[in-house]
Structure 1
C-alpha cells in the first residue's frame, strides 16, 4: 500500500522483495515509483504515472547472492570491465549495502521526499582483492515529476596515506519496445573505443546511433545530456550526467544473448544499455578526498525529432 491508514502518502517504504531480499520502494504523488534492493544498491524498477516499466530486467534475472542482478541499474565499482583480481564490473553490485542513517549534508535544490541514502564500506574479504578503505554513499531519489536521480559519493578513508584509483559506471538498462526502432542522440561525431575490436579507437559517423547488430562502445568526452529515442513507443529517455565523462552503449544482440545464462534469448530486442561512466581515465583519490558522480533519468512522450534533446521541446512536439 502507498498510503497509511490516515490517508497520508508513503514516499519511502521498506519491504521485502524476491527471495526475501530487503528492498525500498520510492513513490511520488502522481504515481511514479522506483524500487531499490539493498543487495547491490540496485535499482530494479522505475515506473511512470501509467505504471509502465521504464527499466529492463532480464526475464532470467537471478535474485540470489552472490550473483549480480541482471538488468535495472547495476553499479560498477571499483572497476568497469575485467581487470586483475577484481571480479567483472567490480564488487559493489553484489554486496549487501545498508541504509545510511546519518549521511553528511547533501545539497539539494528541491524538497524531494522520495529518496533513500545507502552506504557501502569495505569488508575484510574485499580488502584481500582491493586493499583500500573507503566510504561509498549513494542517494537514490524519485523526483515529483518522475525523474530518477542517482548520486554517488566515494571517499578515500585510507589511514596509510595511500591514494587509490577506480573506474565507475551506472550500468543502466533501458526498456525499449524494439531495439531496431531505437536511436541514440548526443554521441554522434564523437570518438569511441570499440570493445568488439580490441578497444580500437574510431570516430562515430552519421547523425545518430541505430542498432542492427551487437554494439559495445565506450564513447569519450561525451556531453552532459544524451537522448534515447524509442520511436515505436514515442518515448524519449533523457540521461543527464555530471562527473562522468564517458558513455557506454551496449546491446548483446542474438548470439551473445543466448550465451548469457541469466539473459533471455530474445531479451536483447527489448533493452539498451546507455551508461554514464568514467572508464578511459580512472579517478584517483588521495586520502580524505571525495569524488561525486551523478545521473538523472527522465522519460518524456515524444515523436521522433532528430537532434531533439530538450525534453520540454520534445513534449511540445508530441
Structure 2
C-alpha cells in the first residue's frame, strides 16, 4: 500500500500513509509523531491546534506524541521525556510484517545520542510501527535495552481525539470503560481516588492517570455520531486530560478555544515502570478505530462497544 515521504516547507520530513478506501495518516519523523488520521470521508479524527509550532525543538500540540522515557514530571527528565523532541529515522531493519491485506505501514527507530546519555545514562533502541487500514490506526512501540545494565522507564501514547464541543452543558462526549477504577489526580497532588461515575463526562479541567485499565476503552461522541474504540496491550494505565479554559489560555501553543474540541485519552505504562535487563525488549500495542454510532436512535449501544469488538 502507498507510503510516501515528503518534506514540509521548512524541510522537515513527513510520511504519508494511505489505503484503498481513502483513509490517510501523516507521521512526522521529528518526534515519530502521528499528526493526522483521516477516515474515508476525509474527516480528521485527531486534534491538532492551529497554533502548533511546526518546527523542530518542540513537539506539535496534538496528534499522537510519544512520551518516553518519562511521563509528565514523574522523574528527573524534561516533561514527558525526550523522545517527542528528537528526530527519528526510518528503521533499516524492521521486524517482519505479518500478512495483511490493504494495510499501509511505516517503521521508525530512535536511538540514544550522546546528549541523551548525559541526561538519561541508558542505551536503548525505541522502535515504532505505524499501520493504517480501513477505519483503523495501529501503533506498536518496542523498547530494547542495548546497555550492559538494567533500566526502568515509563511510557505513553498521548491520543488527542477530535470531538464535538465538550464545554456545552448538553455535551454528550463521554468515556466508558474506566468506571470503578482507581486514579491519580494530578490536580490534587497526585492523590489516589476511585472513579464513582458511570462514565466520565466533562465540566472542567481534568488531568488523571487511571490505573489497571481494561484493554478496551470507548470515547463516545453523540453529536458527531462517532465512537472511538481504543484497544491496547502492554500499557496498563490510561491518562485522561483536557486543560479547560484557564489552562488553555496559559499554553502558548494552544488556542484559547481549542479545549472545547479535543480530548486526550492515553495508552500508558506509568504506575509500574517497565524494567528491562540487558538485551531485553518491551512491546506495546495500541489500536484505534472509529465507528459510526447513533446512540440516541438506538443504532448502537455504547456499552456493547466495549464488549462487542474482538
TM category (shorter chain) comes to over 0.9
Separation of aligned partners in 1, 2:149 and 2:111: 17
What residue in structure 2 maps to residue 217 of structure 1? 208
Q: TM-score, normalised by structure 2?
A: 0.93
Structure 1 vs Structure 2 CA RMSD: 1.5
What residue in structure 2 maps to residue 308 of structure 1? 304
Q: Per-residue deviation at 1:64? A: 1.6
| Residue pair 1:18, 1:63 contacting (<8 A) in 2 also | no
What residue in structure 2 maps to residue 229 of structure 1? 220
Separation of aligned partners in 1, 2:130 and 2:222: 28
What residue in structure 1 maps to residue 15 of structure 2? 24
5+ residue gaps, structure 1, are: 1-9, 314-318
The number of residue pairs the alignment matches comes to 300
Alignment CA distance shift 1:118-1:252 (3 Å) = same
Separation of aligned partners in 2, 1:84 and 1:248: 17
Separation of aligned partners in 2, 1:134 and 1:186: 34
Separation of aligned partners in 1, 2:62 and 2:246: 18
Deviations 1:90-127 (A, max 9, x none): 00001000001211335x36345410000000001111
What residue in structure 1 maps to residue 285 of structure 2? 294
| Residue pair 1:112, 1:141 contacting (<8 A) in 2 also | no
Q: Per-residue deviation at 1:202? A: 0.7
Match of 2:235 among 234, 238, 244: 244
Q: Equivalent residue of 1:309, what SS?
A: helix
Deviations 1:205-248 (A, max 9, x none): 12111001001111000000000001100100000000000000
What residue in structure 2 maps to residue 316 of structure 1? none
| Residue pair 1:168, 1:279 contacting (<8 A) in 2 also | yes
Instruction: Kindly indicate whether residue 254 of structure 2 is the aligned counterpart of residue 267 of structure 1.
Output: no
Q: Per-residue deviation at 1:171? A: 0.7
Separation of aligned partners in 1, 2:5 and 2:58: 22
Show structure 1 runs of 4+ deviating over 2 A: 17-20, 108-113, 310-313
Instruction: Kindly indicate whether residue 128 of structure 2 is the aligned counterpart of residue 138 of structure 1.
Output: yes
5+ residue gaps, structure 2, are: 296-300
